[in-house]
Amino acid sequence: MQRTVRAPEATQAGQRATPARRAELSARIIATLAALGLIVLIAIGSRGLRDFDSALIGYAVATVFTVAALAYRYTLWIGRPPTWRYFKAGWVNFLSVKNFLRYTLLIPKAWWTDILAQTFILKRGALRWIMHMCIFWGVILSLAVTLPLTFGWIRFTLIPPDGYQAWFFGFPIFTFPIAAGTGFAIFHALDFSAVLLIVGLTIALWRRLVNAGLLVIQRFGFDLMPLVLLVAIAVTGLALTADSAWFAGRFYWFISLTHQAVVVLWLISIPFGKFFHIIQRPASIGVTLYQTVNQDIEHYGAQPQTGRCKRCGQQLPSEQFVTDLKATLNDLGQHYDLGGDHGALQDYCPTCKRVLRGQAYYGLMGKRFL
C-alpha cells in the first residue's frame, strides 16, 4: 500500500516567508560547515589521506553528503517553534547546576530507557522490542566500524611475526596477536552486526507481511524500503565474508561493488526517510528532562494549584508545559482564548474540551432533534 504524506507546513505563507528564507539560509550555511568540518577531520584523521583507502571512497563521499543533508534538515527541524522551545528548554535544564544536582541520575536513566534499552517499545510489544533492539544495535555497531574505516581513521599494521597494531585517527591504540579472539572479533564485527540485523529484519518483515493492521497502512517508501535496503546491506556484507572464506574471493569485486552501492543508497536516504528518527530520537531525553523538571513544582516555587484542568481539576503535565504550549501556538499564529472567564482552551484537559463543545452544542440545540 503506497501513499504519500507530508508534514504540515506553515499556514500563513506570506507572513512567514522571510523567517523561513532566513532559516533556510542558515541551514545551508550550517550544512556546508558540517560537510567541510567532516572533510577536514577526514584529512587530519587519515594523515593527509595517507591512510585513506581509495577503494572505499564511495562510502566516504556518501557520508559527507549525508552529514551535510542531516545538518541541513536538523537545523530546519530544530528551528520550528515547538522544537526550538523544547530544544532551548532542554539545554537550559541540562546546563543548570541546580538541576544537575537534583537530577543526576535522570539523564543516564533516560539514555537507558529511551536510547540504549528502549524500554518503551517493550510496552508496544515484546517481539517489536526484540526486533528493534536487533536492528538498532546492528546498525549502530556497523556504523561504528564502517565510518572510521572509510574515513581512513582506523587501520591495522602487521607487526611481524604474528601481531597487529591498531591505529585510530593516526595514533597507535593497541596491539594484539593475529590468532587472538580480539582479532577475530574485530575483523568479524561487521559479520556479527549483519547477523543481528538479519534477525531483526526477519521479524520486522514477517510482522509487515502477516499483521492485518500493518498490511493496509504501511507505505512502501517509508516502511518497507528501509527494511529492504538494510537486508541488502546485511546480505551483501555477509556475502563478502563468505566469498573470501569459501570462494577465494572469486566474486569479491562484484559483491563489494554491490555492497557499496546499497550502503551509499542507504546513507543518502537517512535524512529523508524513516531513519531520520535515529537523529531525532535523542531529543526525547531533553523532553523527559523538561517534563520532569517542570512537574517539580517545588523546584519552581510555583503555587500547588497550577497545572490542573480548569473545569475538572485533573492534572495537566505542568503549568510550564501549558504556558510553553500556548506560546508555541502563538508563534504559529493560533490563539485559543475562549474569552470571559472561560480562559484559554489549553487550560482544559482533553475530556473537558470535548464536554465544553458538547455543552455549547447543547446550548444551541437543547433537546431538539435536528
Residue 165 near another protein by CB under 8 A: no
Residue 61: CB atoms within 10 A of its CB come to 14
Residue position matching grid coordinates 504559529: 332
Query: Measured from the CB atom, is 49 or 365 closer to another protein?
Result: 365
- Separation of alpha carbons 159 and 152, rounded Å: 19
- Separation of alpha carbons 263 and 63, rounded Å: 10
Residue 368 near another protein by CB under 8 A: yes
Task: Kindly determine how many residues on this chain lie close enough to bind another protein according to the rule CB under 8 A.
Answer: 83
Instruction: Please report, as residue ranges, which positions from 244 to 303 form the binding site for another protein (by CB under 8 A).
Output: 274, 277, 280-281, 283-284, 287, 290-291
Among 201, 233, 316, 320, binds another protein (CB under 8 A): 316
51 to 90: interface string for another protein, x by CB under 8 A: --------------------------x--xxxx-xxx---
Strand, coil or helix: what is 342? helix
Residue 92 near another protein by CB under 8 A: no
Torsion of CA 80, 226, 135, 278, to 10 degrees: -10
- Separation of alpha carbons 39 and 204, rounded Å: 36
Residue 317 near another protein by CB under 8 A: yes
Among 101, 123, 301, 303, binds another protein (CB under 8 A): 123
Residue 306 near another protein by CB under 8 A: no
Q: Tell me the window of 57-65, 137-145, 181-189, 323-331 that interacts with another protein (CB under 8 A).
A: 323-331
Q: How far is the CB of 322 from another protein (least distance, A)?
A: 7
Q: What are phi and psi of 154, to 5 degrees?
A: -115, 135
Query: Measured from the CB atom, is 114 or 243 closer to another protein?
Result: 114
Query: Measured from the CB atom, is 11 or 175 closer to another protein?
Result: 11
The torsion region of residue 333 among left (phi > 0), alpha (psi -120 to 50) and beta comes to left
Strand, coil or helix: what is 145? helix
Residue 171: CB atoms within 10 A of its CB come to 10
Among 21, 98, 124, 250, binds another protein (CB under 8 A): 124
Q: How far is CA 270 from CA 18, 80, 286, in A?
A: 28, 20, 22
Q: Tell me the window of 45-53, 54-62, 239-247, 338-346 that interacts with another protein (CB under 8 A).
A: 338-346
Cis omega before residue 161 (within 30°)? Answer: yes
Among 18, 160, 246, 369, binds another protein (CB under 8 A): 369
Residue 8 near another protein by CB under 8 A: yes
Q: How far is the CB of 34 from another protein (least distance, A)?
A: 20
Among 120, 174, 253, 272, binds another protein (CB under 8 A): 120
7 secondary structure, DSSP code: P
